[in-house]
Structure 1
Amino acid sequence: MTTSQDLAKQDAARRAVDLVRSGMVLGLGTGSTAKLAVDEIGRRLAAGDLHDIVGVPTSEATERQAAALGIPLSTLDRHPRVELTIDGADEVDPHGRLIKGGGGALLREKIVATASRRLAIVVDASKLVERLGATFPVPIEVTPFGWTTHLDPIRALGGEPVLRARDGTPYRTDGGNLILDVTFAGGLADPEGVAAAIRARPGVVETGLFLGFSPEVIVGHAR
């Protein structure tokens, strides 16, 4: 059954794809709402409404999806400048700061977002928060070697880390790393300070705190 949240996600995805022009190099995001945007890009290509699109996927899952839809794909090595990336988020605060990484692709998502001239973030209203970390843990990608050494320092910052697992097996990112999902009671009072402290640790690959990107946030509505 299609829910109002499903309709809102579809609305956000369609409106984001309205920003796409033929000939663009696009960053293709990861996650449930970004997946809908990739589907819509594929539909418009097949219908002839768009042409000469090149997609740079942010995950292996998105790469498989886009290839199945006939979207031509490339890499940042061949196309280091991306005109527009459409991606989702797990949380968005009033300053346009994001938590991403619920789908496990935070590292590649951040690399592609950094290479992008424009970043469109597609969400439904449930992802809007007053304070980051209020409803969703902060994913932290770490190397498997020495991952337990990060637990106490993260706790000292006010977080409670849990190793992400599926069916009892530690989750591995496309890069072969692990993810710690860190809950901050009451959310983050200083996202920049926490991000800097965590990223300074050897063995931390990246955090799911997307700060300083000034994204175009597209909030979908059930219609």
Structure 2
Amino acid sequence: MTAQDPTALKQAVAAAAIEEIRPHLDRRTILGVGSGSTVNCFIAALAPLVGEFAGAVASSEESAQQLRALGIEVIDLNSAGTLPLYIDGADEIDHDFAMIKGGGAALTREKIVAACSARFICIADSSKYVAQLGGFPLPVEVIPMARSWVSREMVRMGFSPVYRQGVVTDNGNQLIDLHDRMLDNPRELETAINQIPGVVTNGIFAHRGADLLLLGGDNRVERLSPRAR
């Protein structure tokens, strides 16, 4: 594995996540599983553990299909209750373990599953670990009729909004990506954007950040805890 090999980094952090969760699995365990290319590697790495846990709640239809293909039962969150573990990636994660997520359009379901999980394990490569969020565009899921209204409000807040054309979320909604502003106070901004009528949620995960980061880079995977809350 090298820092220049993204696939190897993703496979390495996926393997580290398997080692992290394996001691906590039993026949009653229901995992929360996120979405994205790094999580795809994690799902593939779950194959040898099929039968050692009850099933999984998936944060996207794509992840659900991949889990079912391995013979892992996909369980509705309403039936699962509180999940012991949620494994997901990030588009950016800062040193307090606040994140920007939603590059793959699954932010709302990811945020719901994260909120219902006792422990959130983030798996990412070192390029995603940043001093301040905002280099990656911030996704906002919106009710379709409110897209223009929300965009105008985002301009007022100092962002440059771009409609993600041709993308419909698993919830039937649309996405706006916010550019050209670093996130000085992610917790406050997460709340402020979510108060705008027509916003379903935004891709800041600050109120419910990660509890553990498995960070791949320089031929190793680091196991990091958040600096603060």
TM over 0.5: yes
Identity of aligned residues (%): 35
| Residue correspondence of structure 1 range 31-110 to structure 2 within 5 A | 31-45=36-50, 51-110=52-111
Is the Cα–Cα contact under 8 Å of residues 42 and 66 in structure 1 kept in the other structure? no
Separation in structure 2 between the aligned mates of residue 10 and residue 115 of structure 1, nearest angstrom: 26
**How far did 1:53 drift?**
3.1
2:177 — aligned with what?
Answer: 181
Instruction: Return the alpha-carbon distance in structure 1 between the equivalents of residues 214 and 158 of structure 2.
Output: 31
> 1:151 deviation in Å?
1.4
| Aligned Cα root-mean-square deviation (Å) | 1.5
Rounded to whole Å, the distance in 2 between the matches of 1:14 and 1:53 is 20
Once the two structures are TM-superposed, the CA of residue 152 in structure 1 deviates from its matched residue by 1.8
Task: Give runs of aligned pairs for residues 150-161 of structure 1, distance below 5 A.
Answer: 150-161=150-161
Partner of residue 163, structure 1: 163
Please report how far the alpha carbon of residue 51 of structure 1 lies from its aligned counterpart in structure 2 after TM superposition: 1.2
Residue correspondence of structure 1 range 112-131 to structure 2 within 5 A: 112-131=113-132
* TM-score, normalised with respect to structure 2: 0.88
Say if 1:161 and 1:182, in contact at 8 Å, map to a contact too.
yes
1:160, 1:184 within 8 Å by CA — same for their partners in 2? yes
- Identify the residue that residue 148 of structure 1 maps to in structure 2: 148
Deviation for aligned residue 1:150: 1.1
- 1:143-191 CA-to-partner distances (Å, cap 9, x unmatched) read 00121011121011111110112xxxx3100000000010133x11122
Q: SS of the counterpart of 1:212?
A: coil
Higher relative contact order (CA 8 A, sep 6+): 1
- Alignment partner of 1:146: what SS? helix
Give distance in 1, aligned partners of 2:79 and 2:44: 24
**C-alpha displacement at 1:76, in angstroms?**
1.0
Q: Cα distance 1:220–1:53, how it changes in 2: closer, same or farther (>3 A)?
A: farther
TM-score under structure 1 normalisation?
Answer: 0.90
Question: What is residue 8 of structure 1 aligned with on the other side?
Answer: 9
Flag the 1:192–1:212 CA change in 2: closer, same or farther, 3 A.
closer
- Give 1:214 deviation, angstroms: 4.2
